[in-house]
Amino acid sequence: MNTIKEFGRIMVTQTELALATIGTDGTPNVRIVNYYFNPKNNVLYFATFKDNEKLKEMEQNRNVAFTTIPKKGNEHIKAKGIALRSEQTVFDLADCFCDKIPDYKNTIDFAGNSLILYEIHFKTATVTLDLSNIQTITL
């Protein structure tokens, strides 16, 4: 298995991930978000509403974990990283999000001014193709 190639393929073709944060009360919290991964800088981007609980959680504790949601079988990526508020906006990456998730244009048109863009920076990821093909890579 060419793990780096498979990582790239999965990050491009899957559109949602389960994002785990630490709640303001110290307990884990997980939710589904759409994402865009930029292979040029190895940064994962997602948007959240300004008054969202996850925003408060990430401001309190930047440590997050995620796993992509498989489209077929068990293929997925999982990683731990640091969530940072991006200097860019969802409008700056609108084409990237919409190329990946065409319906995302409706979200940007309707709520773009209420969204804050976040980045997840991570150095390693576990690539799972099936129960026999699981490898960890360094980016």
Residue 117: what are its φ and ψ, rounded to 5°? -90, 135
Q: Please, which pLDDT band fits residue 72 given cuts at 50, 70 and 90?
A: confident
**pLDDT at 114 > cutoff 80:** yes
Q: What is the pTM of this model?
A: 0.94
Q: Which residues pair with 30 in a beta bridge?
A: 20
Distance of alpha carbon 87 from alpha carbon 38, whole angstroms: 15
> What is the domain class of 3-138 according to CATH?
mainly beta
pLDDT at 1: 72
**pLDDT at 131 > cutoff 90:** no
Q: Which residues pair with 134 in a beta bridge?
A: 128
Q: Which tens digit of pLDDT belongs to each residue from 96-108?
A: 999 999 999 999 9
